[in-house]
Chains A and B, each alone.
Chain A
């Protein structure tokens, strides 16, 4: 099974500043057949359905603000929020969908400093 590890576990960033969350997979999730990284990022807020932010490691889902970006390849990935807004307070999870069971990171709690 592929293990996903996020860092840090929690993060406090000032409004307007950059937030960076890392995600590492225990093996490569880059598929040679299509050169795609099978990684997604999700945002969890209390009382709301979880939201897909990024898929294929760097493709923003429809309606996601462009301050959210994803990068990385192989085993190391990053979610960046370029200018933190109050509504970005949430828990963020990465997930690999390369092979079953499609595992998640442990989550990163993002707060306002």
Chain B
């Protein structure tokens, strides 16, 4: 059974960067995309981007292009999401999730992490 374990909560200053990790245990890793989704308070879930570890680089939502970097380390079965130039609007819960089928991005998300709270405050 695949599980995704995310890193702990972060508090950041405006203008800084945050890097959140997501480590997979059990099941295949390299051919299945890991997606990053966030939910700001009172807002809907937003798809930020995804990476298939064996096919890196990542695929990003237009909104986050130039500000987000998603990477994956096959040796540690870990994906990372780094978001730069943070503002208060980036305060959100950030989730990683694995796609249900391999080698493409157009699939459902069958396993999720618990989420990482990122708070941006001066």
Question: Which A residues form the contact surface with B (CB < 8 A)?
Answer: 38, 40, 42, 47-52, 55-56, 61, 93, 95, 97-107
> How many angstroms between the C-alpha atoms of A38 and B100 in the bound complex?
12
Give how many A-B residue pairs fall within 8 Å (CB-CB): 63
SS class, residues of chain A in contact with chain B: loop
Using A101-B61, A105-B44 as known contacts, list a sample of 14 further A-B pairs with CB atoms less than 8 Å apart, ordered by residue number in A.
Answer: A40-B108, A47-B114, A49-B111, A50-B95, A50-B97, A50-B109, A55-B108, A55-B110, A99-B106, A101-B63, A102-B35, A102-B47, A104-B44, A106-B44
Give chain A residues whose Cβ lies under 8 Å from the Cβ of B63.
101
Contacts of B100 in A (CB 8 A): 52, 55
Whether B108 and A104, one on each chain, are in contact in the complex, defined by CB atoms closer than 8 angstroms, is no
The A-contacting residues of B in range 44-70, CB under 8 angstroms, are 44-47, 59, 61-63
Closest 8 CB pairs of A and B: A55-B108, A40-B108, A104-B45, A101-B61, A49-B112, A50-B112, A102-B47, A106-B44
> Please, how many residues of chain B have a CB less than 8 angstroms from a CB on the other chain?
25
A52: chain B residues at CB < 8 Å are 100, 108-112
Q: Which residues of A contact B46 (CB under 8 A)?
A: 101, 104
**Minimum Cβ distance to chain B for residue A2 (Å):** 11
Within 8 A of A (CB), among B8-66: 35, 37, 44-47, 59, 61-63
A48 in complex: contacting residue of B47, B109, B114, CB < 8 Å: B114
Judging by beta carbons under 8 Å apart, are A97 and B44 in contact? no
A-B contact pairs, 28 of them (CB 8 A): A40-B108, A42-B109, A49-B4, A49-B111, A49-B114, A49-B115, A50-B109, A50-B112, A51-B112, A52-B112, A55-B108, A61-B110, A93-B44, A95-B109, A97-B106, A97-B108, A98-B106, A101-B46, A101-B62, A102-B35, A102-B106, A104-B37, A104-B44, A104-B45, A104-B47, A105-B44, A107-B44, A107-B45
